[in-house]
């Protein structure tokens, strides 16, 4: 057995779905903390444009946009796209709308309140792209969400879902410990819980194989993150 296979991974500890106003950390404070991740958001957007070749005029769904920094970065890169953010937290939608308004993008980005497990408000094959960043570990039933994504995506569309991974190694853990020195105590707590709620690449493969996205995706991972994206050659 290889070394990585024998590595012990702690059991998953689920997190709740909606991120809402909290007495320890308000949405306004959380918004500022999220904004510090702009470099990561830009990298994610760059991957969607360059590697996955998002086309002009695309209708894009972002699942769990939170404060919508990724939506804003994407639309700023290409103002011809129309973006819909599906968000389960009303408090997050309030903050996201403020951010979109501050960036004068209200004509490009809108929000729908709802749970990605049931996207009956969207028609079959109605999106050119579905994207999601750091939200998958919150979903109560990822298999149901993946099947909904398969239903609403058009043929030859873009899929890009990024999240953390629970099976991070010692080196990555050390980098996390150092990074935590630069964020608030509460944010650092959330960071830990989100890692513990996330999946390993093999758990994600196992789930995806049970859905209608089977054979239409690739799973890419590095020391911190996992990315599910559609395989353009398929
Ligand atoms: C950790 S935040 C990430 C926000 C943003 N994508 C980012 O990377 O900055 C996860 C977001 O997903 C939302 N969310 C969780 N489960 C969801 C679901 N089932 N459907 C829609 N949104 C969901 C949460 O309310 C939260 O805003």
The model carries a pTM of: 0.94
Q: Which atom of ligand 1 is nearest to the CA of 18?
A: 25
Please count the structural domains in the chain.
Answer: 1
Please give the Cα distance from 230 to 234 (Å, whole number): 8
Q: Residue 173 belongs to what domain range?
A: 20-230
Q: From 155, 204, 177, 151, select the one nearest 12 (Cα to Cα).
A: 204
Q: Which atom of ligand 1 is nearest to the CA of 65?
A: 6
Chain centroid to CA 130: 10
Residue 131 domain flag: yes
Whose alpha carbon is nearest atom 10 of ligand 1?
A: 135
For a mutational test of ligand 1's pocket, the pick from 14, 15, 18, 67, i.e. the residue with the most ligand atoms closer than 8 A to its C-beta, is: 18
Cβ 123 vs Cβ 152: under 8 Å: yes
Q: Is the pLDDT of residue 1 over 60?
A: no
Residue 12 domain flag: no
Residue 6 domain flag: no
Residue 13 domain flag: no
Q: Is the pLDDT of residue 176 over 80?
A: no
Q: What secondary structure letter does DSSP report for 1?
A: -
Report helix, strand or coil for 113.
Answer: strand
**pLDDT tens, residue by residue, 90-119:** 999 999 999 999 999 999 999 999 999 999
| The pLDDT of residue 67 | 97
Choice between 126 and 25, residue whose per-residue pLDDT is larger = 126
Q: Which CATH number is 96's domain given?
A: 3.40.50.150
Retrieve residue 211's tokens: 């859905």
**pLDDT tens, residue by residue, 31-74:** 998 998 999 999 999 999 999 999 999 999 999 999 999 999 99
Q: Which atom of ligand 1 is nearest to the CA of 69?
A: 9
């Amino acid at each position: 057995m290889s070394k990585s296979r024998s590595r012990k991974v702690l059991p998953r500890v689920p997190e709740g779905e909606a991120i809402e106003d909290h007495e320890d950390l308000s949405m306004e404070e959380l918004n500022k903390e999220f904004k510090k991740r702009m470099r990561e958001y830009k990298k994610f957007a760059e991957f969607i444009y360059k590697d996955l070749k998002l086309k002009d005029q695309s209708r894009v769904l972002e699942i769990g946009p939170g404060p919508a920094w990724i939506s804003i970065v994407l639309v700023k890169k290409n103002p011809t796209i129309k973006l819909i953010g599906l968000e389960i937290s009303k408090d997050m939608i309030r903050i996201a709308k403020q951010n979109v308004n501050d960036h004068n993008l209200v004509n490009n980005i809108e929000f729908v309140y709802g749970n990605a497990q049931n996207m009956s408000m969207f028609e079959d094959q109605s999106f050119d792209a579905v994207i999601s960043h750091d939200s998958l570990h919150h979903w109560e039933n990822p298999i149901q969400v993946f099947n909904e994504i398969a239903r609403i995506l058009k043929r030859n569309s873009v899929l890009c879902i990024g999240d953390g991974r629970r099976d991070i190694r010692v080196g990555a853990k050390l980098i996390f410990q150092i990074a935590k020195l630069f964020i608030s105590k509460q944010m650092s707590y959330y960071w830990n819980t989100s890692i513990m709620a996330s999946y390993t690449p093999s758990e994600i493969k196992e789930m995806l194989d049970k859905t209608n996205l089977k054979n239409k995706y690739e799973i890419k991972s590095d020391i911190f993150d996992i990315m599910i994206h559609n395989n353009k050659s398929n």
